[in-house]
Structure 1
Amino acid sequence: MRAALYLTLATLFWAGNFVVGQAAMETMQPLQLTFWRWALAAVPLLVLAQAVDRPDWRAVLRRWPMLLLLSCLGMSAYTLLLYSALGHTSALNASLVTAANPALIMILAAILLRDRPGPLSWVGVALGLAGVLLILAGGNLQRLLTFSIDAGEWLIVAAITVWGFYTIAARRLSVPAITSTAVQVAMAAVVLVPFAAATGAGLPATSSEGWSLAYIVLFPSLGSYLLWNLALKHTTAANAGNYLNLIAVFTAIITVALGQPVTVPQILGGVLVISGVLLTSAGGKAPQRPRSSKSTSSPPSASPAKFRPR
């Protein structure tokens, strides 16, 4: 029961990142939001890593080349693409497309790592792809045939592709979960400093921007990772992965609560994507037993078949 509560809250906070991120993009720049998100989250995450993981920091830092690569992919490139996409498409569209990420990761794993998914997994991939195409086209086949897809949709597809490569690379990293995330966040903040300075990416100028940044730092950046890893002490990674389907559901609920319309193609596409994810998961390897927080992976470094970005 405790694990279910933690996982539900974690996915709720991650869903909020789509909605709040979309609102923030009305007045902020993607680089500005990305830089300050990680700059403000870095120190608290490092403190959290020390408290929860108690890592051997020398051993962790010896893996700095891989951690830097992962930071550039998952923390910098993915986040920049996500917030750029939210400046051109709806939070619901973005969350529904990212819901197909496990299927994309499975395809990349089959190509790059010679994984051999079962037939049920491929059926899930086909369903997920159909759902994504339905969402991208808005129910209008002509948009697909003429490649008349909006910039926001292309950016979110690029974002989940980057995350797919990130997840494949992260499979080779044996660093405690929160520690890995914290170091990557700190590296992203440092790497982005010159770019932020060159573009004048200052702190939020209005109260609404400040509240948006505060939410993104406190809840999806800190709260969700803590709750996720606490939950993984009481349940399997496979079970936790299924809860990630709630991100699109929560995003839809928040969208409706805010008075924004939800279209039939979004509903049908979402059903296809989530059904495809469940089939892909069911056709994969059997879930492992729960492990301690020292060896448990958080979403960024977990099994590619199960996790997708927030």
Structure 2
Amino acid sequence: MDSRRASEPEPGPGKTQYVWWRDARLLMLVPGLVWAGNAIVARAVVSSVPPIGLAFWRWAIAAAVVAPFAMPHVRRDLRVMLIHWPVMVLLAALGISFFNSALYVAAHTTTALNIVMLQVSAPVLVVLASYLVFRDTITGAQALGIVLSLIGALTLITHGDWHVLSEFQFNAGDIWMLTACAVYALYTALLRLRPNVHPLSFLFASFVIGAGLLLPFYAVETWHGQAMPLSIESVLAILYVAVFASAIGYFAFNRCVELLGANTAGLSIYLTPVFGTVLAILLLGERPQIYHAVGIALIGAGIILAARRRA
């Protein structure tokens, strides 16, 4: 059955439309690329930007960025989204409000290494959530692909030295990160329940609802002396997470879930350390090592293997 939604236009002949409509394995590159900077930004501004404030302004500005493109579709789809408001609120609460807020809180209370190491649990938790909620099972190829990608991600994270895993020390911030990963997994599994509306309508409404749910918590955070500072650092951080990690990243990720299913699309999280590695080599002058090639090759092979049947 065609995975396109009834309210979406037919794909055109251009390469961009082809990637968007058909080649989800290429589309999976987008979330991994833009999300690679999300945890880095959160750690970079940890001393000056409060976590709930960062999350609130991220979604508020992302909604403003998407609005000009989404409004023609929102006017048409508003009635359908209002009818399905419980699902809209649930998805926004999980994937927009709580997930990213928990990640930013974790960035204040644990190390960057712990955050990245715990993130690799997310695709496995997606499979578990899909089974628990919908009794979805995976094929042998998908299972092998997940295992290969997991090994590749850990190879990059540990720099090829697996003894690093034995030095992992669990702390309070890690609970926030694990909870964030579990919520991300549930959001990904439940995306199939979203209303049959245009992707931009769904994206804009999710951002608005997510920011609205965070507003009272942002007010409490501000009231208790953690006001959002107006500085170049904070503005640049918010702009990055709003435009790239939110508007672009979620737009592409939602479509990947629609084309490939939650279990395979969830593997895009393993591309985050891949792009982090590539950016470090290109921009920071880090020297390529054998473990870089091994890790990236394993992740690539795993994703291709897991996505092959559905693609």
TM-score calculated relative to the size of structure 2? 0.70
Question: Which residue of 14, 35, 50 maps to 2:71?
Answer: 50
Letter of the 1:74 counterpart? G
Judge conservation of contact 1:102–1:277 (CA < 8 Å) in 2.
Answer: no
Query: Which moved further from structure 2: 117-126 or 187-196?
Result: 117-126
Give 1:52 deviation, angstroms.
Answer: 5.4
* CA–CA distance in structure 1, aligned partners of residues 51 and 293 of structure 2: 28
Matched, 1:179 2:201: yes
Equivalence for 2:41: 20
> What letter matches 1:50 in structure 2?
M
Match runs of 1:246-257 below 5 Å: 246-256=271-281, 257=283
Q: Is 1:96–1:270's contact at 8 Å kept on the other side of the alignment?
A: no
CA distance in 1, matches of 2:103, 2:45: 12
Q: Is the helix fraction higher in 1 or 2? A: 2
- Cross-structure match for 2:58: 37
Q: Are 1:213 and 2:238 matched, yes or no?
A: yes
- Alpha-carbon offset, residue 262 of structure 1: 9.2
Residue 142 of structure 2 contacts residue 307 of structure 2 at CA under 8 Å; is this kept in 1? yes
Shift in Å, 1:54: 5.6
| CA displacement 1:36-60 (0-9 Å, x = unmatched) | 1112222333442224566321121
Which whole-Å CA distance do the structure 1 matches of 2:176 and 2:286 have between them? 22
Superposition deviation, residue 72 in structure 1: 1.1
> Which sections of structure 1, spanning at least 5 residues, go unmatched?
288-310
**1:89 maps to what in 2?**
111
Flag structure 2 segments of 5+ consecutive residues without an equivalent.
Answer: 1-14, 21-25
Is the Cα–Cα contact under 8 Å of residues 39 and 186 in structure 1 kept in the other structure?
yes
Q: Quick one: structure 1 residues 126 and 250, their matched pair in 2 at CA, closer, same or farther if it must change by over 3 Å?
A: closer
Please say if residues 99 and 274 of structure 1, whose CA atoms lie closer than 8 Å, have aligned partners that are also in contact: no
1:187 to partner: Cα distance: 1.2
Go from structure 1 to structure 2 and tell me whether the alpha carbon gap of 1:110 and 1:279 turns closer, same or farther (over 3 Å shift): farther
From 226, 229, 232, the counterpart of 1:204: 229
Which residue is 1:72 aligned to? 93
TM-score by length of 1: 0.71
CA contact (8 A) 1:78 1:162 kept: yes
Structure-2 residue corresponding to 1:292 = none
Match of 2:163 among 140, 143, 146: 140
Contact 1:20–1:212 (Cα < 8 Å) also in 2: yes
Identity over the aligned pairs, expressed in percent?
Answer: 26
- How many angstroms does 1:132 deviate by? 6.2
CA distance in 2, matches of 1:81, 1:262: 33
Report the equivalent of 1:163. Answer: 184
CA offsets, 1:139-194, max 9 Å, x none?
A: 227737xx733555554333221111112222122233222221121112112111
CA distance in 2 between counterparts of 1:66 and 1:83 reads: 25
Residues 1:192 and 2:192 are matched in the alignment: no
